């Protein structure tokens, strides 16, 4: 099999939360989160993505979170900085700064709200890839952005040297199959519960939410699938499935993962408006999911 562009990012990437305390970013807790991932053996840490609540960070906070993560990692894992925007100029500014700070790659969400045409998507990502010197991961998540990057557009983008990866969060296995079969991009699942199905048709890892909580089992699952040991991978998939479903099914991400991290004593659970906490019934459902998985130190 021909090696894909971006294959150095195969494995578990974790879209880390941004901890808050009393309304401010808790940088000490952020460093603890990063160290936890490094010690677990996580391949890549992804700050200020969807899970990192990038929409409610100021520009200064956004920049500083990326810098803190890069400095804390200190080369012990890869860092893929979330530097996308619905403004191409803003995405370029964020990405150039992250690259100068030492980011290994950039996660570029599809421009949201203004709903570009497919040609607009192509020109946006092309402009970024041609103006920065770190690999670009195209982030396709129509449920958030309002519009899907179509397979044909991703095929065109794959011909651009700097575009090496795609984070597939369309929820469509056929989309993953089409991209894997017609491009040399490394595909990373954008949905924890679809990691194994996507890897069975050619994806090489996941940018994970649940990895904030339990990176070890996610690493085992991904490594088993990469080794074509689908018996082991399937066992791990079923073990993780309830937890993965709770993280994205109980409420909008990152509300459940923030609550889960609070329950195990690794975060305050605090968010910024317009994000609001789980309802009591949802909180109890999440607590039961954590206990069922075997996280014995759950509180609440």
Residue ranges of domains in the chain, CATH in brackets = 7-227 (3.20.20.70)
Task: Tell me if residue 108 falls in helix, strand or coil.
Answer: strand
* Catalytic residue check, 139: yes
User: Exposed (0-12), middle (13-18) or buried (19+): which is 231, by Cβ within 10 Å?
Assistant: exposed
CA atoms within 13 A on the CB side of 11: 16
Q: Which residue has the tokens 């009591």?
A: 280
- Of 139, 147, 172, 258, the active-site residue reads 139
pLDDT tens for each residue of the chain, 300 residues long: 568 999 999 999 999 999 999 999 999 999 999 999 999 999 999 999 999 999 999 999 999 999 999 999 999 999 999 999 999 999 999 999 999 999 999 999 999 999 999 999 999 999 999 999 999 999 999 999 999 999 999 999 999 999 999 999 999 999 999 999 999 999 999 999 999 999 999 999 999 999 999 999 999 999 999 999 999 999 999 999 999 999 989 999 999 999 999 999 999 999 999 999 999 999 999 999 999 999 866 665
Which residues, 6 or more positions from 263, have their beta carbon under 8 angstroms from its beta carbon?
A: 286, 287, 290, 295, 298, 299, 300
Specify whether the backbone of 123 is left (phi greater than 0), alpha (psi in -120 to 50) or beta: alpha
pLDDT at site 267: 97
pTM confidence score? 0.96
- Of 78, 126, 147, 167, the active-site residue reads 167
Backbone angles phi, psi at 256, to 5 degrees: -65, -40
Which residues, 6 or more positions from 258, have their beta carbon under 8 angstroms from its beta carbon?
A: 17, 267, 269, 270, 271
* Catalytic residue check, 27: no
Q: State how beta strands 11-15 and 44-46 pair.
A: parallel
CA distance 247 to 166: 22
Q: Which residue has the tokens 């939360």?
A: 17
CA distance 46 to 103: 10
């Amino acid at each position: 099999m021909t090696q894909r562009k971006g294959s150095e990012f195969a494995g578990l990437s974790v879209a880390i939360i941004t901890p808050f305390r009393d309304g401010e970013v808790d940088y000490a807790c952020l460093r603890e989160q990063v160290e936890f991932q490094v010690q677990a053996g996580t391949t890549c840490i992804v700050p200020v993505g969807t899970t990192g609540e990038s929409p409610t960070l100021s520009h200064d906070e956004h920049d500083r979170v990326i810098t803190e993560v890069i400095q804390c990692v200190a080369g012990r894992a890869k860092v893929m900085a979330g530097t996308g925007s619905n403004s191409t100029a803003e995405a370029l500014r964020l990405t150039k700064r992250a690259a100068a700070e030492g980011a290994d790659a950039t996660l570029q969400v599809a421009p949201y709200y203004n709903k570009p045409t497919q040609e607009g998507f192509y020109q946006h990502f092309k402009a970024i890839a041609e103006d920065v010197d770190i690999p670009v991961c195209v982030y396709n998540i129509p449920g958030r952005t309002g519009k899907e990057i179509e397979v044909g557009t991703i095929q065109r983008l794959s011909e651009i040297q700097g575009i090496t990866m795609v984070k597939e969060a369309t929820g469509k296995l056929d989309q993953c199959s089409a991209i894997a079969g017609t491009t040399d991009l490394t595909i990373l699942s954008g949905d924890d519960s679809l990691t194994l199905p996507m890897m069975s048709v050619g994806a090489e890892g996941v940018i994970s939410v649940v990895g904030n909580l339990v990176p070890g089992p996610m690493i085992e699952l991904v490594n088993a699938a990469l080794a074509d040991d689908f018996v082991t991978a399937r066992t791990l998939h079923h073990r993780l499935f309830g937890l993965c479903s709770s993280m994205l099914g109980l409420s909008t991400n990152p509300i459940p993962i923030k609550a889960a991290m609070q329950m195990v004593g690794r975060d305050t659970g605090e968010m910024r408006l317009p994000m609001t906490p789980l309802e009591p019934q949802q909180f109890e459902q999440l607590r039961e999911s954590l206990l069922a998985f075997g996280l014995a130190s759950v509180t609440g």
